[in-house]
Copies of this chain bind each other. A is one copy, B any other.
Amino acid sequence: MLDKASATLDVATVMRDLGRRARLAARALANAPSATKDAALRHAAAALRGSAAAILAANARDVADAQARGVKGAFLDRLRLDPARLEAVAVALEEVAALADPVGRVLAAWERPNGLKFERVATPLGVVGVIFESRPNVTADAGALCLKAGNAAILRCGSESLRTSLAIAEALRVGLAEAGLPEDAIQLVPTADRAAVGAMLAGLDGQLDVIVPRGGKSLVARVQDEARVPVFAHLEGVCHVFVHAAADLEMARAIVLNAKLRRTGVCGSAETLLVDRACAATHLKPLVTALLDAGCAVRGDAATQAVDPRVTPAAEDDWRAEYLDAIIAVRVVDGLDAAIAHVETYGSHHTDSIVTADDGAAARFLAEVDSAIVLHNASTQFADGGEFGFGAEIGIATGRMHARGPVGVEQLTAFKYRVHGAGQIRP
């Protein structure tokens, strides 16, 4: 795949062919029985285990190449597979197989006075494009979620993981074939040529129905800016915890520490703490001290700086910052309205939480904050498909179209209307 012959391939032609094959596969998948799709996923898990040696060898070459180019740290770690990680990928396939089939669900059903019976029924979306960066396991995770929802997948991995991703994709295709499904249901873009991404963003001549970018901010921004097809993505998670006047201090402390520090690199980690001026005298110092003592840097407004000399001044940019690190911005606000206004002004419509014993204040925060996920008395780190009970997610979306919040298999479906009559004609 990486030899000279492929380098001379016309990328536009390759991508057009991928799109055409994906559409044909999607038609077959759309009506595949649940048991067949699930069998393909289990066969794919077996094929992954069976070809573990080849996949790990491909990965070793990818890792060696990356190291030779000076790649290190977290990026290299995300690229690297080992037997335990590969087994986790196989188990994830089996977990997706065990989920309920989202296709065919009757979402609504009603009858009209003329006797016509209407049903809104979940259908696949069609062809899903996934553009991701270093983690080769996304090949299996994203491919499996698309398959479960009856969609064909076109996967574009980062160039560093191309050998590994191709080896994983091959196992998926073995699984599809063993179940009698078209191998083209899951296709990996076989070239590292960046023109392939451009072709996907242009929609592959109408064959691509949606794109899901999985990666850093620059990838997501490019996809959101340039894609001519719908995108399920979030650019960033500038998530807030608002400690309201009626917040229990112990609950607030536990939630703030967890929301910020459980894992700082996830999109649902809190980046800004807002404290109601009405409880600042009692709550601000304990919260700030707890954060500082836990190793978190605090950038605060004047009121926050006053409670501890370790607090550094927050600049305007800090209110918009997605640190993804042990850093938090802290601001004292004048009550619920000011907190909502701050979140609407600086937030990213991802995930925001209020801590309060006042149900009325909570109801207003949950109604008026226009974010995909709004929580009352819970950590923002619950922003995760698994925590929602979705089983697995392909990402979190902050747009308002079609999918919002965790994108699991149900969010990868569309719907149609089935109408049952007995000869009705329209007057």
Residue positions of A touching B, CB distance < 8 A: 27, 30-31, 110, 112, 116, 118, 123, 125-126, 209-210, 228, 230, 248, 251, 254-255, 257-259, 262, 344, 362, 366-368, 370-379, 381-382, 384, 387-389, 400-402, 404-405, 414-426
B424 touches A378 (CB 8 A): yes
- In the bound complex, residues from chain B placing their C-beta under 8 Å from that of A262 are 425-426
B417 touches A379 (CB 8 A): no
CB distance from A261 to the nearest CB of B (A): 10
A387 touches B31 (CB 8 A): no
Main SS of chain A's interface residues?
mixed
* Cα separation A112 to B416 with both chains bound (whole Å): 30
* Cα separation A411 to B262 with both chains bound (whole Å): 38
B209 touches A374 (CB 8 A): no
- In the bound complex, residues from chain B placing their C-beta under 8 Å from that of A112 are 387-389
CB distance from A249 to the nearest CB of B (A): 11
Contact A373:B419 (CB < 8 A) given known A112-B387, A116-B382, A401-B414 = yes
Q: Which residue in chain B gives the minimum CB-CB distance to A376? A: B420
- In the bound complex, residues from chain B placing their C-beta under 8 Å from that of A230 are 230, 401
Q: 10 tightest CB-CB pairs across the interface, nearest first?
A: A378-B421, A258-B425, A400-B414, A251-B423, A402-B402, A381-B426, A375-B419, A377-B421, A378-B424, A379-B425
* Cα separation A389 to B116 with both chains bound (whole Å): 11
* Between-chain CB contacts (< 8 Å), 27 pairs: A30-B370, A31-B368, A112-B389, A116-B387, A123-B370, A209-B401, A257-B425, A258-B425, A258-B426, A370-B416, A371-B416, A372-B417, A373-B417, A374-B417, A375-B419, A375-B420, A376-B419, A377-B420, A377-B422, A378-B419, A378-B420, A378-B423, A378-B424, A382-B424, A387-B426, A404-B417, A405-B416
Query: For A210, A228, A374, A425, which residue has the most chain B Cβ atoms within 10 angstroms?
Result: A425
- In the bound complex, residues from chain B placing their C-beta under 8 Å from that of A125 are 400-401
Q: Which residue in chain B gives the minimum CB-CB distance to A259? A: B425
- In the bound complex, residues from chain B placing their C-beta under 8 Å from that of A373 are 416-417, 419
- In the bound complex, residues from chain B placing their C-beta under 8 Å from that of A259 are 425
- In the bound complex, residues from chain B placing their C-beta under 8 Å from that of A248 are 423
Contact A419:B374 (CB < 8 A) given known A258-B425, A382-B116, A382-B424 = yes
B110 touches A382 (CB 8 A): no
